[in-house]
Amino acid sequence: MKTLNMDKFTSPLSYFWGVICTLIGALSLNDIAIIVGIILSIATFCINWVYKRRDFQHKKKLREQVYEKFIEDRNQLDL
């Protein structure tokens, strides 16, 4: 039976969190506020882009449906 070597997982994980805590400790409150502001600005841009793209595609689909209906009605009126 194969045993699980916990040191293989816990050592890199503890080093990772040690580095993260050191980096956060080196930052001032102003630095953290700037980083959070940048991250939130990028997230807002991405969310707006996704929803504007969906809105554009929806309006494009509606325009195509109206145009198809217009062509269909026009073809029925032509004698």
The pLDDT confidence band at residue 4, using thresholds 50, 70 and 90, is low
pLDDT at 49: 96
pLDDT band at 74 (very low <50, low <70, confident <90, very high): confident
State yes or no: pLDDT of 11 exceeds 90.
no
pLDDT tens sequence across 33-71: 999 999 999 999 999 999 999 999 999 999 999 998 888
Going from the C-alpha of 49 to that of each of 42, 52, 55, 76, the distances in angstroms are 11, 5, 10, 41
Domain residue spans of the chain: 14-78
pLDDT-derived band at 1, boundaries 50, 70, 90: low
